[in-house]
């Protein structure tokens, strides 16, 4: 039996009868969320002038006025703990041709900037030359949420390319989509 769309966000929800249902397991939760197709982005910063970054699929538009975006970083992430000190981050929306890079860059110990062509943005934020889009952002808020941080940034600069082959993530694997022709 599925959970109500209005149920609080919790693995243990008290039902109307006052009993507590069995919590679902993390694998089932991951599988269910894996059915939602997401884009893939490389969030970057340059603490002490050294480029670093995280592969994320949690990028979201928050507001148009002012222009705000968000992403989520694990609270245990050593990379994010270094990046956050800069107060700035770049978002690099990845294209299908970045798939091998995304696979290589996902492990915590990866050299994420090996063989990448990038330019410094505001405050030195690394922005990939061949990304579908780049956003240069200032961190304006960070909210604890379970085992992650929700990071909100104000977009100070952006760039978009004409490439139309995005990298996506679905059911635990990278892939692509072919967009419909614009009319």
pLDDT tens for 86-143 read 999 999 999 999 999 999 998 888 889 988 999 999 989 999 999 999 999 999 999 9
Does residue 7 register a pLDDT over 60?
A: no
Does residue 27 register a pLDDT over 70?
A: yes
Does residue 12 register a pLDDT over 60?
A: no
The structural domains of the chain, ordered by start, are 43-170 (2.30.110.10)
**What is the model's pLDDT at position 9?**
42
Cis peptide before 66 (omega within 30 of 0): yes
Q: Do residues 59 and 44 make contact, with C-beta atoms less than 8 angstroms apart?
A: no
**Comparing 11-15, 20-24, 101-105, 116-120, which segment has the lowest mean pLDDT?**
11-15
The answer to whether the predicted template modeling score (pTM) of the entire model surpasses 0.75 is: yes
* 4/2 Cα distance (integer angstroms): 7
């Amino acid at each position: 039996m599925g959970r109500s769309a209005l149920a609080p966000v919790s693995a243990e929800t008290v039902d109307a009868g006052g009993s507590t249902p069995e919590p679902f397991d993390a694998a089932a939760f991951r599988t269910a969320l894996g059915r939602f197709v997401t884009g893939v982005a490389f969030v970057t910063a340059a603490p002490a002038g050294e480029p670093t970054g995280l592969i994320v699929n949690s990028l979201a538009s928050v507001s148009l006025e002012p222009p705000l975006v968000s992403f989520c970083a694990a609270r245990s992430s050593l990379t994010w703990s270094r990046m956050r000190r800069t107060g700035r981050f770049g978002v690099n929306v990845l294209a299908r041709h970045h798939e091998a890079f995304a696979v290589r860059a996902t492990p915590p110990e990866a050299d994420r900037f090996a063989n990448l062509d990038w330019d410094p943005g505001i405050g030195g934020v690394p922005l990939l030359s061949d990304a579908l889009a780049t956003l240069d952002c200032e961190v304006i808020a960070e909210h604890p949420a379970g085992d992650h941080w929700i990071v909100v940034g104000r977009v100070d600069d952006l760039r978009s390319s004409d490439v139309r082959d995005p990298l996506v993530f679905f059911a635990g694997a990278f892939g692509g989509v072919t967009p419909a022709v614009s009319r």
